[in-house]
Structure 1
Amino acid sequence: MARWQPDAPGRLAAAALDLFEERGYENTTVIEIAERAGLTKSTFFRYFPDKREVLFGRGAVTGLLVEGIASAPPAAGPLDAVADALDALGRTFFTADRREFSGRRQAVLNAHTELREREALKRIDLTDSLIEALHRRGVPGRTARVAAKLGMLVWEIAYDQWIDTDNSEGFGPLARQALAEVRAAGAER
């Protein structure tokens, strides 16, 4: 690949994923990732602080979720605002063309403790961002925490289904279905 081609972060993520699958996470270096992407080590570090971060994006998901909550209808309750944010994520990030990459990425994460730990920390940060976005909508503290944590549970359920190669349904509808199941479970006596 020529260095002038666009989407350096995407190219680096694709190269890293290929190398992590081929050689293992521990046996892959930043230099190898950059070379596979047709870029330099300094270009890698322009976008990512270390090789763990190359599979975690650069905050795009957080921005989409926060904007989705902010743009939810004013009358939407906390869980409905979170559902709107997950819908937005499905329309713009968890799209059909990213499904195969996302499934492969998850397999690599599942195979490496260090990456699973990083993913857990990222989810905590995402939950905190959801809480803050709900606070900005005027949702009280405890309610915002519950809605954000339930939203992340819904995300995990929907994401696991969405990356399944036997599934063809979009992330948004899967998230709505998972939210309905969470609500039903909460209504049981």
Structure 2
Amino acid sequence: MARWEPNTRLRLIDAAVELFAENGYEATTVAQIAAHVGVSKMTFFRHFPDKREVLFAGQEEQVKMLHDAVAAAPASATPFETVAAAVVELAAYFPPERREPSARLHAVVASHEDLRERSAFKHARLAQALEQALIERAVPAATAGLAADLGARALREAFVRWRSPGYATDLTVLARETLDEFHEAVDLLG
């Protein structure tokens, strides 16, 4: 095995995405991913419970980040303003150098039904975290649910744009744009 190198978790994610794209998700093994990075299978399993979860790394950190951002919002903020601030904060978690790996990861997820289902679960979990955090701020459940769904949907749309060719914009800028578009769309509902 190679000597220890920093960022093992991120290197495992990148290796998994690369190998899934080259060989297919089902044909790629944990042993191959670990070997590609120069670590043991045991090291892989210290970071991820299985090869599927390597594609959804960071979900619990993202849930916590959204929850904490909602809790930290000013008391005067509307539910949508609160969600928008949390979504923009989460978007800032993804630096520009993760744009291309994110696009490759999305292509792998889109190519496999089980992964698409897991991705939908992740998005639902992020919306649920926003909703719960708003309810903890005494926002009525219906309002909290709607604001959370809009925020999660705006975040998902920002990611779609960010991963697309021709969008070299920072993810936080795209998140703000999609949030503004969604806010305008709600206003049009009258």
Determine the C-alpha separation between the residues in 1 that align with 2:137 and 2:3: 44
Partner residue in 1 for 2:147: 147
Partner residue in 1 for 2:69: 68
Partner residue in 1 for 2:90: 89
Partner residue in 1 for 2:108: 108
Moved over 4 A (4+): none
Deviations 1:108-167 (A, max 9, x none): 111111111110111111111111111222212111111111111111111111111311
Determine the C-alpha separation between the residues in 1 that align with 2:75 and 2:52: 38
Determine the C-alpha separation between the residues in 1 that align with 2:106 and 2:52: 13
Aligned length: 188
Q: 2:49 is paired with a residue of what secondary structure? A: coil
> Structure 2 matches for 1:43-62, cutoff 5 A?
43-58=43-58, 59-62=60-63
> Structure 2 matches for 1:168-183, cutoff 5 A?
168-183=168-183
Amino acid at match of 2:72: S
Determine the C-alpha separation between the residues in 2 that align with 1:130 and 1:3: 41
Range with greater deviation from structure 2 (119-128 or 62-71): 62-71
Question: Against the structure 1 CA distance between its residues 77 and 3, is the aligned structure 2 distance closer, same or farther, given a 3 Å change threshold?
Answer: farther
- 1:3, distance to aligned residue in structure 2 (A): 4.2
TM-score normalized by structure 1? 0.93
Amino acid at match of 1:77: T
- Structure 1, unmatched stretches of 5+, are none
Partner residue in 2 for 1:8: 8
Deviations 1:24-49 (A, max 9, x none): 00100111111111111111111111
TM-score normalized by structure 2? 0.93
- Structure 2, unmatched stretches of 5+, are none
Q: Percent identity between the aligned chains?
A: 43
- 1:13, distance to aligned residue in structure 2 (A): 0.4
Deviations 1:55-88 (A, max 9, x none): 1113222222122212222211111111111111
Determine the C-alpha separation between the residues in 1 that align with 2:135 and 2:167: 35
Question: Against the structure 1 CA distance between its residues 81 and 3, is the aligned structure 2 distance closer, same or farther, given a 3 Å change threshold?
Answer: farther
- 1:54, distance to aligned residue in structure 2 (A): 0.1
Amino acid at match of 1:99: R
